């Protein structure tokens, strides 16, 4: 059994246990994910999606098989998830074909293929049977899924007081450490407008945050990874 096959087994074994951290450890930091409901997700968005699905899963079970190597980088796998759809309380058995690409022993691309119409039949009953083929109905499902993901990401960031406490604590650091964070925030577009005021002497300035961008990019995992980097940087640059 090669490394990539072992990684697939690790991913779906963790999925069976609803262990999102174990699943996400198989992903590259810049992973690209796609499925018919959530659409295209990148990096932190993809990882947070698994956190949300694992946390909210009800009466969940999963099987997987038929792991196939197409070449050195591309693999496929079949998996079936059985769970109770929270929106209607109906049981769903979703049959999925996964396609994965591996680079440096991490999953860099992951796409899941399944029929939205078949899923709708099970999740919504007669309504899904009649309307599940319709693009308007399917777009409504996609919109709801992305909205739920965004709300979940916002709720996770607020556990850290993001963006308010995060911004206040970091932006009131003194001297060069403060300047370094200012440039870091500017780089990622988290500031709409910043007015520096006596930074070198007091390390303070007034600011207005771009909350929409901040919420979009600062997931729990992003905070864990980057707050540490910021504090290291502050310690390195601060006098």
Give the CATH number for residue 17: 3.10.450.50
Are 107 and 214 within one domain?
no
pLDDT digits (tens, 9 = 90+) for 101-137: 999 999 999 999 999 999 999 999 998 888 888 888 8
Are 105 and 75 within one domain?
yes
Sign of CA dihedral 17, 18, 20, 21: negative
Number of structural domains found in the chain: 2
> Residue 24: which pLDDT band, with cuts at 50, 70 and 90?
very high
pLDDT of residue 183: 54
Question: Does the pLDDT at position 196 exceed 80?
Answer: no
Are 134 and 181 within one domain?
no
Are 103 and 192 within one domain?
no
> Residue 191: which pLDDT band, with cuts at 50, 70 and 90?
very low
pLDDT of residue 150: 86
- Domain end residue (candidates: 133, 158, 183): 158
Question: Does the pLDDT at position 34 exceed 70?
Answer: yes
Are 113 and 218 within one domain?
no
Are 131 and 170 within one domain?
no
Helices 135-158, 44-56: axis angle to 10 degrees equals 90
Are 194 and 136 within one domain?
no
- As a dihedral over the C-alpha atoms of residue 24, residue 27, residue 32, residue 37, rounded to 10 degrees, the angle is -30
The separation between the first and the last C-alpha atoms of the chain, rounded to the nearest angstrom, is 52
For the chain, the 3-state helix, strand and coil shares in percent, each to the nearest 5, are: 50, 25, 20
Domain interval for residue 88: 3-158
pLDDT more than 70, % of the chain = 64
- Domain end residue (candidates: 134, 158, 182): 158
Are 123 and 180 within one domain?
no
Are 154 and 223 within one domain?
no
Are 143 and 192 within one domain?
no
Question: Does the pLDDT at position 215 exceed 50?
Answer: no
pLDDT of residue 133: 86
Q: Is 145 exposed, middle or buried, given 0-12, 13-18 or 19+ CB atoms closer than 10 A?
A: middle
CA-based R_g, the chain, Å: 21
- Mean residue pLDDT across the chain: 75
pLDDT digits (tens, 9 = 90+) for 44-90: 889 999 999 999 999 999 999 999 999 989 999 999 999 999 889 99
pLDDT digits (tens, 9 = 90+) for 158-185: 554 444 444 444 444 433 444 455 555 5
pLDDT more than 90, % of the chain = 46
95 has which bridge partners? 80
pLDDT of residue 187: 53
Are 153 and 168 within one domain?
no
pLDDT of residue 90: 93
Phi-psi region of 189 (alpha: psi -120 to 50; beta: other; left: phi over 0): left
Nearest to 152 by CA among 49, 226, 43: 49
Are 228 and 115 within one domain?
no
Beta strands in the chain (DSSP E): 27-35, 39-42, 61-69, 74-84, 91-103, 106-113, 191-196, 205-209
């Amino acid at each position: 059994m090669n490394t990539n096959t072992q990684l697939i087994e690790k991913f779906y074994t963790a999925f069976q246990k609803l262990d999102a951290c174990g699943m996400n450890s198989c992903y590259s930091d810049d992973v690209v994910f796609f499925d018919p409901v959530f659409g295209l997700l990148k990096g932190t968005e993809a990882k947070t999606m698994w956190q949300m699905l694992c946390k909210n899963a009800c009466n969940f079970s999963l099987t997987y098989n038929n792991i196939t190597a197409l070449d050195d980088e591309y693999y496929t796998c079949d998996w079936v998830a059985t769970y109770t759809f929270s929106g209607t309380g109906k049981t769903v058995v979703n049959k999925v074909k996964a396609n994965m690409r591996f680079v440096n022993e991490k999953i860099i691309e992951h796409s899941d293929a399944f029929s939205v119409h078949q899923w709708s039949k099970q999740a919504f009953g007669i309504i899904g049977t009649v309307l599940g083929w319709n693009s308007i109905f399917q777009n409504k499902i996609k919109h709801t899924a992305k909205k739920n993901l965004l709300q979940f990401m916002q709720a996770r960031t607020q556990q850290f007081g993001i963006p308010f406490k995060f911004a206040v604590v970091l932006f009131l650091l003194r001297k060069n450490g403060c300047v370094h964070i200012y440039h870091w925030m500017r780089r990622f577009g988290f500031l709409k407008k910043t007015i520096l005021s006596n930074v070198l002497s007091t390390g303070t300035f007034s600011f207005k945050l771009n909350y929409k961008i901040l919420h979009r990019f600062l997931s729990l995992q992003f905070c864990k990874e980057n707050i540490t980097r910021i504090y290291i940087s502050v310690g390195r640059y601060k006098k």
